[in-house]
Structure 1
Amino acid sequence: MIQPVQSTDNSSIPSPYLLSAYGTDNTATANDILQRWWYIFNQSLQRNIRIIGFSTDTDPKYLRAMRLMSGFLGAHPHFQVHQHPQTFQIKIRSHWSWFYLCEQQLLLFFQDSTHLVTKWRNRLLSTTAELCLGNQSISINHLHDIIENDTYSKLDDGLTKSDINPKDRQNFSSCLKLTSNDLMIYSTF
């Protein structure tokens, strides 16, 4: 999506619009994706449009392309994006030991929030995996306790047994309930 910047002489902000969209037959490699992004970025730059970043779902090839383009744990040898004249500086706080990106970035990358939260939900509802938040772990059993405990009202959290059915892997409305503040009030991890 493009969100035009408000001009100084105009009080209204133009509406955002879609710059590009494309489908794939899933035969593209991470290098193909990098080349597509690189082409879109450079073609847009020639038209005085500065792309800030790309967003995608959680396909491993796209995640690899994001990692390579951003220099996360190593850069791609053919895309020397950190020496590009359009790079910007990220000021990293010295106490952020968890922040692994290079300080020079050409693009930012975002994972599609819908896919991200459904992956989180599926991990939470898994019977074989454990989900850790900080130094504590949570599981589907915590959610069963909340649903079956008469102290909590369905009107407060709205959580039902169908929300924690792991077979429905793309239940986004369930994700909204599981991440709501109302549910977090009752949670005792």
Structure 2
Amino acid sequence: MGQPLHDKSPAFCLVIFGSENSFNNIDVLNRWRYVQKELNKSEITIFGFSSDADRRCLKAMRIQSGLLSSISLENKDSPYGPYFQCKYGIHSPVYIQDAVHIGTKMKTTLLKPNVVLLMERFFVSKDFIEKLIEIHLQNLIVTVTKDKHLLCNSDLDNADKMNFRAIDKISSNEVIKLLHGIPESDATIQYLQITRNIIDAFLNKSSSIADRIYKIWYSTFFLRIWRSWLTCKN
């Protein structure tokens, strides 16, 4: 699909091709290069490529971005670690994971049974003891009128893994604010705040550039520190 930069222009089908799902990251890179070459013939500029979380697409994005975890830049290691340095040119496309897929994956992790996410002494887990996450959100639905949070029980159903509308509602600023009134929901609040930041950074058209940068880096640093803490704890 192609997405014009004009605010109200709809996305349109750019390429249709068949696949038996046996492609690899090199095939993805060749596809992107071919699309870019053909569009250049019509003087159409591609500002970026995005994809879902398919590992082959992610690897292709890492290679094209020049991340040190995938490719060594002049065989020099960054003093800031492998995640802070990438190849970027003002006239080259950028490569990002599709924001809708990021949101739905955050929802899947939040609502997935038997997943326990620990933050200090708090837990982000639907299956912890009495399904802590579910209780937090269901308590909110029961104790606060719907016009305040706009949630319904079906939003907690993880059967539809691509239900972006559900995570958009669950991570709304209104829900996050109301959750502050529910004891022991600190980790849930933080998880939803990160999710909200990611969604707004990419999809909220009213956000300023500075606000987008702040939100995505806040989430990035928090997730890195959280992962480091979990690694050390284990």
- The answer, yes or no, to whether TM exceeds 0.5 is yes
**1:19 Cα offset (Å):** 6.6
53-62 or 19-28, larger mean C-alpha shift:
19-28
Matching of residues 54-69 of structure 1 within 5 Å: 54-69=49-64
Which blocks of at least 5 consecutive residues in structure 2 are unaligned? 74-79, 127-131, 181-185, 187-234
Match of 2:104 among 111, 115, 118: 118
Match of 2:124 among 108, 113, 138: 138
1:107/1:136 CA distance change after superposition, 3 Å: farther
- Classify the secondary structure of the residue corresponding to 2:96: strand
1:51/1:184 CA distance change after superposition, 3 Å: same
Amino acid at match of 2:112: S
48-57 or 131-140, larger mean C-alpha shift:
131-140
**1:121 Cα offset (Å):** 0.2
Distance 2:135 2:93 in 1: 42
Amino acid at match of 2:87: C
1:99/1:169 CA distance change after superposition, 3 Å: same
Matching of residues 166-181 of structure 1 within 5 Å: 166-181=158-173
Which blocks of at least 5 consecutive residues in structure 1 are unaligned? 6-12, 78-94
Alpha carbons 1:69, 1:75 under 8 Å: kept: no
| Cα deviation digits, residues 37-69 of structure 1 (max 9, x gap) | 112222323433221111222211111111111
Match of 1:128 in 2: 114
Which protein is richer in helix relative to its size?
2
Count of residues paired in the alignment:
166
Match of 2:4 in 1: 3
Residue 40 (1) aligns with residue 35 (2): yes
Match of 2:138 in 1: 147
The percent of aligned pairs where both chains have the same amino acid is 26
Q: What TM-score comes out, normalization by structure 2 length?
A: 0.57
